[in-house]
Structure 1
Amino acid sequence: MAGIGGLLAAYDEQMRGVPPNLPLGVSCEQDGPLLRIVGQFRGFISAPSDVGVRGAELDWLIARQRDYFGARGEAVEWKTRGHDKPDDLTDRLHAAGFVPEEQETVLIGMAGEMAAGQALPDGVVVRRVTADADMRRIAVMESAVWQQDWTWLADDLIVRISTAPDEIAVLVAEAGGEVVSAAWLVFCAGTEFAGLWGGSTLPEWRGRGIYRALVAARAALAVARGVRFLQVDASDDSAPILRRLGFHAVTTTTPYVWSPRQTGRKPQ
């Protein structure tokens, strides 16, 4: 296995370009060193590990993104990593009105090492789903977990499945017909990576191995497709579990978000 430096280098090289299989209606635009992704529930800025500009030129680049999405009446997320350059990037984002959301840990694991089966609690089953109705059930579960309206998630997953059904695998864990946890695997065409997303579980079902079982199930799907690395942006709750499974922390990630109606919170 590559060392931490090798994993981070692979991540920077392969996971910071144009996302594969953009959903219908979503497009990418290049603005200097940045990729601007337009047409999602909020705009998204992808940058290399070093944007290559400093001082006033960087301030102008940041302001241009803010003003572009401001003219559209949309929020925008600039995804930063803990090792990004220059060192004052986040200070300059903040000065331009971008607000940091919760920091997460970027973890990478070897897919083949994560695919071992995990026992589920009695009465819980894991299955892959593709129906629109199941995406809406997932959104209801996520809304309960986060105590926010996550209706947008159902729409996002439905579009992604209809656009590229072979590039996303959505799994649910159910008990008595109720979705108690959900997670999805996103294949990254042209790379050695697949991303693990979701993984939220209703509070009363946590600590029973469901999250680990969903990791193993997605890892098995990744291995079947020849994927080498699994990548996760992990919360403080998930990161310890994943590290015990063998994932390695390579950096951190913090979304910086600007909104025309800035509240400092996600617009979901």
Structure 2
Amino acid sequence: MVSTADILAAYDSQLRRLVPPAVPAGHEYQLLGQLLRVTGQRRGFIESVRDLGVEGKMLDRLIVEQRDYFAARGEAVEWKTRAHDLPTDLEVRLLAAGFVPEDRETVLVGESAPMAVESVVPNGVQLSQVSERRDLERIAAMKSAVWGADYGWVVEDLDGRLGSDPENLVVFMAEAAGVVVSAAWLEINPGTDFGGLWGGSTLAEWRGRGIYKALVATRARVAAARGVKYLQVDASAASEPILRRLGFTAITTTTPYVWTQPAGGDSGAVR
């Protein structure tokens, strides 16, 4: 039986700093030593190997260099951290450089094959795979309603990725009486043991009826058919209990640290 430690090691070695086989138009993936830097998305993105290999003032300089790179572009940037990263004071130094943490999520992993069961949804609900822009717009509108924020950026994100690599992004939505009530997608990472479950959202009045569980099973069947061994989720506090009941196991936590341009255009941190 594979241990949690072994799965975490595979996650670190296979998924971090992963460049997709087909990069969407307008996006750029740059491998910079221990870092991956992505531009062209709704905001910049940075992640690293588990151990950055620098400490103290050298780490401060590395953080400031990346922050200032995006400041010069007039863009916000997310630095994705994990709880087991080294050095252990990375998050403290990100805070000192003006980065702000968003909600911590639990990284869960489960085997796809046991989860690839029949999808059971309430009467009147239909699950379908979609790729048309109009459906992506409907999904974005549903997510905006769920989270009370503008998720319009999801349309361009999904449309761009479906356009560049349709084989490895599979989007599903659930409808009832012509209304999108839930949606989620599967991102297959060729050359790795992992597929990612992303985007899961359900309208409040439709929760607790098994739709989220059905979308997991639907995506698990696709993943298993493609030979994907593991499914990985960055789970919110709300979805974590459901996923644990389905057989997912926690391997670490992840927190995005986000820097945005302060009023007046000054990056604001001490150098």
TM-score range, shorter-chain basis?
Answer: over 0.9
Give a deviation string over 1:166-190, Cα, whole Å, max 9, x none: 1100000110111100000001011
SS at match of 2:174: strand
Contact 2:17–2:31 (CA under 8 A) maintained in structure 1: no
Kindly state the Cα deviation for residue 30 of structure 1 after the two structures are TM-superposed. 2.6
SS at match of 1:212: helix
SS at match of 2:81: strand
Contact 1:26–1:37 (CA under 8 A) maintained in structure 2: yes
> Aligned partners of 2:19 and 2:172: how far apart in 1?
21
Residue 112 of structure 2 aligns with which residue?
Answer: 111
Name the TM-score, length of structure 2 as normaliser: 0.95
> Aligned partners of 1:114 and 1:212: how far apart in 2?
10
Residue 10 of structure 2 aligns with which residue?
Answer: 10
Residue 163 of structure 2 aligns with which residue?
Answer: 162
Could you list the runs of 4 or more consecutive aligned residues of structure 1 that deviate by over 4 angstroms after TM superposition? Answer: none
Distance change >3 Å, CA 30–CA 185, structure 1 → 2: same
Structure 2 unaligned regions, length at least 5: 264-271
Q: Does residue 1:216 correspond to 2:212, yes or no?
A: no
> Aligned partners of 1:220 and 1:18: how far apart in 2?
24
Q: Percent identity?
A: 58
Contact 1:18–1:28 (CA under 8 A) maintained in structure 2: no
Give a deviation string over 1:17-38, Cα, whole Å, max 9, x none: 2331321111112333111111
Contact 1:19–1:188 (CA under 8 A) maintained in structure 2: no
> Aligned partners of 1:83 and 1:117: how far apart in 2?
36
> Aligned partners of 2:118 and 2:151: how far apart in 1?
30
> Aligned partners of 2:32 and 2:114: how far apart in 1?
39
Q: Does residue 1:98 correspond to 2:99, yes or no?
A: yes
Contact 1:81–1:253 (CA under 8 A) maintained in structure 2: yes
Give a deviation string over 1:184-219, Cα, whole Å, max 9, x none: 000101111100001100000000000000000000
- The letter of the residue matching 1:246 is G
Q: Does residue 1:147 correspond to 2:148, yes or no?
A: yes
- The letter of the residue matching 1:67 is D
> Aligned partners of 1:133 and 1:220: how far apart in 2?
25
Residue 52 of structure 2 aligns with which residue?
Answer: 51
Of 109-118 and 225-234, the range deviating more from structure 2: 109-118
Superposition RMSD in Å: 0.9
Residue 268 of structure 2 aligns with which residue?
Answer: none
Name the TM-score, length of structure 1 as normaliser: 0.96
Structure 1 unaligned regions, length at least 5: 263-268
SS at match of 2:231: strand
> Aligned partners of 2:162 and 2:134: how far apart in 1?
13
SS at match of 1:166: helix
